[in-house]
Structure 1
Amino acid sequence: MRIGEVARQAGVSVRALRYYEEQDLLQAQRSTGGQRHYPESAVARVRLIQQLFAAGLPSRSVRLVLPCVDSGTAAPGLLDHLEAERARISERITDLAAARDRLDTVIANTRNPPPECTHDPK
């Protein structure tokens, strides 16, 4: 399967597929003319990569997870790594929620300035 067909079926850009190759997340065979050819399983692989990215994993973590998916066994330390990634994401969520709350306060004070505020909200 050629790169454009994989991209179309997986719903990603050709550029994304090239990036996945650069990151060692996806492999393609090359024709004598240099064109990439992927196995039929590449579409499912790309969808899995997309799911892992959507879960907040960076490419280095995805690179650790994929061989475990392929073999059906977890590599030593993988669970600890994934739990650390989860903690990192949870911390980021907490930070983003705090930033959102501060922004809500600014918006509320801009719409309805407290009496000590002297600026014109218009």
Structure 2
Amino acid sequence: MRIGELSERTGASRRLLRYYEEQGLIAAERCANGYRAYSEPIVDRVLQIRGLLDAGLPTRIIKQILPCLNTPRAIHFEHATPEMIATLEQELAGMSARIDCLTRNRDAIAEYLATVRVDH
């Protein structure tokens, strides 16, 4: 498939897909006319990348764990190094802190809205 179709199917802009390719996160073959051609599994790969980015992982970490992604939306390590485990533990702690902060903010807004709605 060409970059436009991949963009439509994943919700990632063409520019973002080119960035993923520059970062070595995805790869495209080149047609005789120079156009990029992506295989079907790249759709799931882009969705995985977007999910990991949304979770707060930087592309340098994503690039390290992508080889361990053997099924769509799942992560499996056969030989995780101590460094990789430590890095992922750090990322997990950071995500948990962000979730806690978001939860507090959500609860505060919900409480405020409940109070405002009663007054109106």
**TM-score scaled by length of structure 2:** 0.70
- Matched residues in 2 for 1:41 and 1:96: separation? 33
Distance of 1:45 and 1:93 partners within structure 2 = 25
Which residue number corresponds to residue 76 of structure 1?
81
Corresponding residue of 1:64: 64
In the TM superposition, what are the counterparts of 1:28-67 in structure 2 within 5 Å?
A: 28-67=28-67
Q: What secondary structure sits across from 1:39 in the alignment?
A: coil
Q: Which has the larger radius of gyration?
A: 1
**Letter of the 2:18 counterpart:** R
Asked if the contact 1:68/1:74 (under 8 Å) is kept, the reply is no
Structure 1 segment 12-31 matched on structure 2, within 5 A: 12-31=12-31
The yes-or-no answer on 1:10 pairing with 2:10 is: yes
In structure 2, how many angstroms separate the alpha carbons of the residues matched to 1:13 and 1:74? 34
Tell me, in whole angstroms, the C-alpha distance in 2 between the residues paired with 1:47 and 1:97: 25
| CA distance 1:43–1:91, shift in 2 (3 Å) | same
Whether the 8 Å CA contact 2:6–2:43 is kept in 1: the answer is yes
What code does the residue aligned with 2:45 have?
R
Amino acid at match of 1:36: R
Question: When the two structures are superposed, what TM-score results if normalisation uses the length of structure 1?
Answer: 0.69
